Amino acid sequence: MLTRFAPDKRQTMKNSEPNRNGCSLHAQHRCAVIPQIQVTLNCNLACTYCFQNHCGKIIDFPTVEKIIEKTVSTNETAGCNPDDNALKIYWHGGEPLLAGIDFFRRVVELESRFDGVVFENRIQTNGTLMSDDLAKFFTENRFAVGFSLDGPEDLHNRNRRFRRSGKGSFQATMRGVETYRRHADADRVAVIAVVTRESLDRVDDIFEFFKKIGARVQLDIYDIRCDDLRPNVMAYSKLPELAPSPEEVGKFLIGLFDLWFHDPESKVDFNELRNEVKMILQPEVRRGNPIDKKRCDFRRTIFDPSGTAFSCDQYVNDARTALGNIHTDAMPDILERKSLLWEQIKRRVRKTADQHACCSCEWGAQCIGGCMTCMKYNALLLQARSEGLPDSRWYEAELKPPLKDICGETYYCEGLKTFRRYVKEAVKRELRVQAGPL
């Protein structure tokens, strides 16, 4: 029933009220920075599609202290109101649970020193190392825990295997999920599920599996990376093996949507599907000018285990592309460099609104899009390096096909448009049914 998506009209109007600059309050941010701390780049799994080089140590605690201290200070200076907006901290990896429970105990103790600051800790894990002690600790300290789980056992195990043994990780992940659920008493368990070509003909299986475990699922269609589409490395990329075509993505999402939208039990939720329905029901909620829009939150800044800061965990992450280091740079300087870099990327890659496909798209002002702009920046940067240019002159490189020819904000745009047209008609039909005969 569509009533489960009905917005609070007063809140919707409040969020969409324009400010003096003509921008939506929905798009404004109270806090200046949200850190994503890569606890370690190491991992006990070797997932087929992972973009990270798994090695290195656990982040040392003085680095954690510095990140949190400078984050709190910067947000206080920016006028954040802790009563309105908790300070989110994302704990990622690699596999963050490799750090062990004592590490996270120290985190909670550190956060307790900041009077008046409310912390919201979020951790993403493959679940294989979840223990009763960790599950109890995360529950008692209100950590939001998300699990990486691709679906039924055979599908999950195709790409998520243990690094040393090569064995599938499904059984260990499910033990971790159930251990956490037992302590958290959670009706829903948060899941990120990667969708690859192998998922395409398993729509029913995927839906029934996540329904059975009562999941709240974020779908992650295989992330195309610039190396997948650079002419000199395409022959070695995993694109043909792992990436669905745009047409296949549209078909997959339509099949999953039909199962979810017409399911009377509502025992499973898919974040993206729910948001698509909300876009139809709340067309007045806009996320800004498509030429300025960027999927990633400007406030979210990535810190690796050495304290080096990056704009994105999929940028070309080496010392030459870093925004600075938390031990030597002020947080406002790091954020300023991030903002300036995005402005450069936008001017070079997006150019003008007339040349950007999102501006002519029906969903351009609502859709949060994908990473195509940043991918093109990465490709230009790597091309500049291959031509002997310094990183500062990345914009002088020439973008080559097929990346050059891709418009919009994601490789899958055409499939997503087909899917959204389908959702729009499905919602209209349901509204007519609910309205009844005239």
Question: What CATH code would you report for 30-433?
Answer: 3.20.20.70
Compute the distance between CA of residue 136 and CA of residue 120 in angstroms, rounded to an integer.
Answer: 17
DSSP state of 77: H
50, pLDDT greater than 50: yes
| pLDDT (tens digit per residue) in 55-84 | 899 999 999 999 999 999 999 888 776 555
Q: What is the pLDDT of residue 67?
A: 98
Compute the distance between CA of residue 392 and CA of residue 195 in angstroms, rounded to an integer.
Answer: 36
> CA nearest 198: which of 162, 243, 239?
243
| pLDDT (tens digit per residue) in 92-102 | 999 999 999 99
Average pLDDT (232-240) is 66
Question: Which residue blocks in 31-169 are alpha helix, DSSP H?
Answer: 61-77, 101-111, 132-140, 153-159
7, pLDDT greater than 60: no
Q: Which residues is 310 bridged to in the sheet? A: 302
Predicted TM-score of the model (pTM): 0.89
